[in-house]
């Protein structure tokens, strides 16, 4: 493949995706002409258009801006595997001599000349990578970052400071994308069975993670959550460390308590104890994420005081235990959870932070294959709520699978107070809830309802 300097234009097929939009911003800020296609407009695409991206929401070659048709040799096309194989725009570029690469390949090329801190795991990676970025951003080390969610600190999912040698990357296991990366530091937060439409079984998931860890550069660092087992071969000189919430490991938290609505704790490290760390984010798993981010940041050169300061200022990520509304009677939280383990972790945190309040979950299943593969596990996780409303499956890249629907989950649930609600009526159902905790969950387009629900709650006060 050519070098990035051989191109001056980049077209993104699937530009509205969180990872794709981060790359699009990077290319725009470094002087490229950027355009793209996605199936619908969103807050992300509106921001990209405001920055100059030439976008279309019609999968027709006629809608591609002419600037991307005039010089094939200087136009790089980046696509996400979430785009259907029969996309007219994608196939136009593939059949007309353009250089067409997956998002992961483009990210790997950008990262290859940097010290890369790559955060991987079937869940937790967005919060950990964003916390790490918040710590390093205010150090002398500095940071560039490609994140899997919109950081509230930066109001974006990409941080660009070209003078820093470090780049923090959320390393996505979907479609084995993270295997284009060769980290200086690699962290594994979890390794549950997921993306079985890609991998087939958990053993193949584990093989991919093992290969990823085996790509850590000579004399690099691997940080693995305690309990995660990997069978792999490492490069020479790679050092290994473990982390945990509050059980003994190389990095772990102790003396965890809540003061004035904040978690306060100490972090035990191989270099000593960082005392009196404060984290204003709810959910105990965020303390664990802070421990993980501390480990990465420390090996990247952050000091104890810089770690303490960075975590204290961490404001969170949109759609990650995102408290959108709160009054004396009602709390509205939005979360990206779309795997049974994520749902369980989120619900445990809701119970811890809001004890005694009845919890209503609105859940949008993501992918027919994931619904089929984990119907029992979804049912058991959602049974932890007091009331559950499930809507239509968000198909993303998939076609319907015969016999697979949201009803599969409802049928398996033991909870009595449960119902199906068509997506178009979810907002109306949400605004009926006047007390307790309302928790919206899912990785599909349920996010388009969050602000309308939020505004409706404000107007009813």
Average pLDDT, the chain: 91
**Can you tell me the mean pLDDT for 109-117?**
88
Dihedral Cα 341, 347, 353, 358, nearest 10 deg: -170
Is the pLDDT reported for residue 192 higher than 80? no
**Can you tell me the mean pLDDT for 292-308?**
97
What proportion of the chain, given as a percentage, has pLDDT over 90? Answer: 68
What pLDDT, in 10s, does the model give residues 167-183?
999 998 877 788 889 99
Is the pLDDT reported for residue 305 higher than 90? yes
Alpha-helical (H) ranges within 67-118 are 88-95, 103-111
Confidence class for position 99, pLDDT limits 50, 70, 90: very high
**Can you tell me the mean pLDDT for 448-454?**
92
Is the pLDDT reported for residue 161 higher than 80? no
Write the DSSP assignment of 247-271 as a string of letters. SSSSBEEEEEEEETTEEEEEEEETT
Domains in the chain: ranges and CATH: 4-102 (3.40.50.720), 114-312 (3.40.1190.10), 322-459 (3.90.190.20)
pLDDT at site 423: 95
Q: Of 129, 73, 82, which is closest to residue 102 (Cα–Cα)?
A: 82
Q: What are the C-alpha distances in Å from 260 to residues 161, 278, 322? A: 34, 11, 19
Is the pLDDT reported for residue 340 higher than 70? yes
What pLDDT, in 10s, does the model give residues 237-290?
999 999 999 999 999 999 999 888 789 999 999 999 999 999 988 778 899 999
**3-state secondary structure (DSSP) of residue 454:** helix
pLDDT at site 229: 87
**3-state secondary structure (DSSP) of residue 334:** strand
Is the pLDDT reported for residue 122 higher than 90? no
d(C-alpha 326, C-alpha 417), whole Å = 24
Dihedral Cα 217, 223, 227, 228, nearest 10 deg: -40
Q: Write down how long the chain is.
A: 461
pLDDT at site 197: 60
Is the pLDDT reported for residue 95 higher than 70? yes
Dihedral Cα 121, 125, 128, 130, nearest 10 deg: 150
Order of strands across the sheet with 9-13?
54-56, 33-37, 9-13, 75-79, 99-102
pLDDT at site 281: 85
Angle at Cα 325 formed by Cα 382 and Cα 121, nearest 5°?
A: 50
Q: Record the pTM.
A: 0.79
Residue appearing with tokens 């002398």: 140
Q: Of 260, 222, 259, which is closest to residue 243 (Cα–Cα)?
A: 222
Q: What are the C-alpha distances in Å from 153 to residues 81, 169, 293, 303, 308? A: 29, 17, 16, 20, 16
Order of strands across the sheet with 262-269?
252-259, 262-269, 272-279
Residue 80 near residue 24, CB atoms below 8 Å: no
What pLDDT, in 10s, does the model give residues 205-228?
888 899 999 999 999 999 999 999
Beta bridge partners of 169: 118, 146
Is the pLDDT reported for residue 306 higher than 60? yes
d(C-alpha 388, C-alpha 407), whole Å = 12
More confident of the two residues 44 and 93: 93
Q: What are the C-alpha distances in Å from 89 to residues 13, 28, 80, 103, 212? A: 8, 21, 13, 16, 32
Q: Which two tokens stand for residue 3?
A: 């070098």
Confidence class for position 193, pLDDT limits 50, 70, 90: low
Kindly report which listed range (30-34, 146-150, 395-399) carries the lowest average pLDDT score: 395-399
**3-state secondary structure (DSSP) of residue 301:** coil
pLDDT at site 309: 96
Confidence class for position 347, pLDDT limits 50, 70, 90: very high
d(C-alpha 453, C-alpha 461), whole Å = 13
Confidence class for position 2, pLDDT limits 50, 70, 90: low
Residue appearing with tokens 């699009």: 24
Confidence class for position 199, pLDDT limits 50, 70, 90: low
More confident of the two residues 20 and 282: 20
What is the pairing mode between strands 272-279 and 262-269? antiparallel
What proportion of the chain, given as a percentage, has pLDDT over 70? Answer: 97
Is the pLDDT reported for residue 196 higher than 60? no
Is the pLDDT reported for residue 3 higher than 80? no
pLDDT at site 235: 79
Beta bridge partners of 389: 362, 419
d(C-alpha 418, C-alpha 411), whole Å = 10
Confidence class for position 307, pLDDT limits 50, 70, 90: very high
pLDDT at site 198: 65
Is the pLDDT reported for residue 160 higher than 90? no
d(C-alpha 297, C-alpha 316), whole Å = 17
């Amino acid at each position: 493949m050519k070098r990035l300097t051989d191109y001056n234009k980049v077209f993104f097929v699937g530009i509205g995706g969180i990872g794709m939009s981060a790359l699009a911003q990077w290319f725009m800020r470094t002087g490229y002409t950027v355009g793209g296609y996605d199936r619908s407009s969103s807050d992300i695409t509106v921001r990209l258009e405001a920055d100059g991206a030439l976008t279309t929401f019609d999968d027709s070659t006629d809608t591609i801006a002419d600037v991307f048709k005039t010089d094939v040799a200087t136009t790089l096309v980046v696509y996400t595997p979430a785009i259907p194989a029969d996309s007219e725009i994608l196939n136009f570029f593939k059949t007309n001599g353009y250089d067409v690469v997956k998002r992961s390949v483009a990210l790997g090329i950008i990262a290859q000349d940097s010290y890369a801190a790559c955060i991987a795991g079937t869940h937790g990676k967005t919060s950990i990578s964003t916390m790490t970025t918040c710590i390093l951003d205010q150090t002398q080390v500095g940071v560039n970052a490609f994140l899997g969610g919109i950081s509230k600190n930066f109001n974006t999912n990409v941080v660009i400071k070209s003078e820093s040698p470090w780049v923090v990357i959320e390393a996505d296991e979907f479609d084995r994308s993270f295997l284009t990366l060769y980290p200086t530091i690699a962290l594994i937060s979890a390794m549950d069975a997921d993306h079985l439409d890609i991998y087939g079984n958990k053993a193949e998931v584990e093989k991919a993670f093992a290969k990823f860890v085996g790509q850590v550069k000579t004399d690099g660092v691997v940080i693995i959550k305690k309990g995660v087992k990997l069978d792999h071969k490492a490069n020479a000189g790679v050092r290994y460390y473990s982390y945990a919430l509050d059980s003994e490991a190389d990095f772990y938290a102790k003396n965890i308590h809540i003061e004035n609505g904040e978690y306060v704790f100490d972090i035990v490290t191989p270099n000593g104890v960082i005392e009196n760390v404060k984290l204003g984010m709810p959910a105990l798993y965020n303390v664990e994420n802070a421990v993980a981010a501390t480990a990465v940041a420390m090996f990247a050169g952050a000091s104890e005081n810089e770690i303490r300061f960075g975590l204290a200022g961490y404001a969170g990520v949109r759609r990650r235990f995102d408290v959108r509304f709160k009054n004396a009677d009602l709390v509205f939280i939005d979360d990206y959870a779309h795997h049974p383990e994520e749902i369980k972790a989120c619900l445990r945190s809701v119970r811890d932070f809001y004890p005694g309040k009845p919890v209503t979950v609105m859940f949008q299943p993501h992918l027919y294959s994931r619904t089929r593969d984990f119907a029992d596990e979804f049912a058991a996780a959602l049974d932890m709520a007091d009331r559950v409303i499930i809507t239509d499956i968000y198909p993303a890249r998939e076609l319907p699978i015969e016999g697979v629907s949201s009803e599969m989950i409802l049928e398996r649930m033991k909870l009595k107070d449960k119902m199906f609600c068509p997506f178009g009526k979810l907002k109306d159902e949400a605004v009926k809830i006047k007390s307790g905790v309302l928790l919206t969950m899912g990785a599909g387009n349920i996010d388009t309802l969050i602000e309308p629900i939020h505004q409706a709650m404000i107007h009813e006060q």
